[in-house]
Amino acid sequence: MIDKTFAYWNDKFTENPKLLKYKDRDIKAVIGWGGIEIFDTNVNILELCLEYAKAIQNYSCGQCIPCRVGTRIIRDIFESIYKGEAKETDLNTIVALSENISSSSMCEIGQSSPRVFKYLIENYRDLFKDYMGGKKENAASFEYKSTVTAPCMQACPIHLDIPRYVENIKFGRYEESLSTICEKLPLPGVVGRVCVRPCEFNCRRTLLDEPIQIKHLKRFVSDFAIERDNWPKFECKPKKEIKVAIIGAGPAGLTAAFFLAKEGYDVTIFETLSEPG
């Protein structure tokens, strides 16, 4: 068990970091592309690393072998440590794999995600050796949550999975791209024309040249589906005996109606003008 809280983020180490909250809940630890922050000494670092390794493996797209295979091996080693079945040389394997994955992966998940393992093993090696020796912590049980984000996604008001739908377009998977968009946005053709595109102003491509034309790509897959009469089909839950009235048939009202209808609500939209929009 660690004896004090700390943070190692963007290559900077600090002690006693400021506590974080999510809604009304205290966050005990954060681990990710920038490093790690521990806000509670009861946090089980091995368990945290294991859950993080599982998340990386889950999000790895598989387009480059070092990330897909390497992260699976790292996950398996952490599971072996957790079960008390690993040996000390396995820690060296994690460090070597983390360096290899970071230097040879094609995307930011592979390039940045494993770096924290190298830092932890190099600085808290004795803690991992204790786990290998069968030492168990009587630590509190925590709930682990993982998510993938990017500056463009954070800038988007509805946090669309922009990297995912852009990548699908790159590989010609237009139906999958549109389905990804429609998970949160049922009017991609409209928004693809009128959006003020905060995502593009936060696109990491600007570090090299110009931002990806995210808005126009959204419009493209929508128009592509309409021209071919191939719009996604959406399942609705069983109808509820609950009526909902929505005032206004603008984009917000239509979007609210769409998701409420999918949940089975009986929706009626009231609009003072002769047509929606």
Instruction: Report the C-alpha gap between 7 and 28 in whole angstroms.
Output: 12
Contact 8, 36 (CB under 8 A): yes
Query: How many residues are present in the chain?
Result: 277
Instruction: Report the C-alpha gap between 193 and 222 in whole angstroms.
Output: 11
Quote the pLDDT of residue 62.
Answer: 83
Pick the closest to residue 273 from 255, 249, 256 (CA basis): 249
Pick the closest to residue 225 from 264, 177, 266 (CA basis): 177
If you search the block for the tokens 């237009």, which residue do you land on?
Answer: 174
Quote the pLDDT of residue 275.
Answer: 87
Global pTM? 0.75
Helices and strands in the chain, H and E counts: 13, 8
Quote the pLDDT of residue 137.
Answer: 59
What's the distance, CA 151 to chain centroid?
11
Instruction: Report the C-alpha gap between 229 and 225 in whole angstroms.
Output: 6
What's the distance, CA 1 to chain centroid?
28
Quote the pLDDT of residue 148.
Answer: 84
Give DSSP secondary structure letters for 201-228: HT-GGGGTSS---HHHHHHHHHHHHHHT
E strands, 171-242, are: none
Structure tokens at 232: 């996604």
Quote the pLDDT of residue 135.
Answer: 65
Domains belonging to the chain, first-starting first, are 6-133 (1.20.1440.230), 151-228 (1.10.1060.10), 236-276 (no CATH)
**Phi, psi at residue 243, to the nearest 5°?**
-95, 140
Pick the closest to residue 237 from 204, 267, 215, 217 (CA basis): 267
Mind listing the pLDDT tens digit of every residue in the chain (277 residues)? 688 999 999 999 999 898 888 888 889 999 998 999 999 998 999 999 999 999 999 988 888 898 999 999 999 999 999 988 999 999 999 999 999 999 999 888 899 999 999 999 999 999 999 888 766 655 556 889 898 888 999 999 999 999 999 999 999 999 999 999 999 999 999 999 999 999 999 998 998 999 999 999 999 999 999 999 999 999 999 999 999 999 999 999 999 999 999 999 999 999 999 888 7
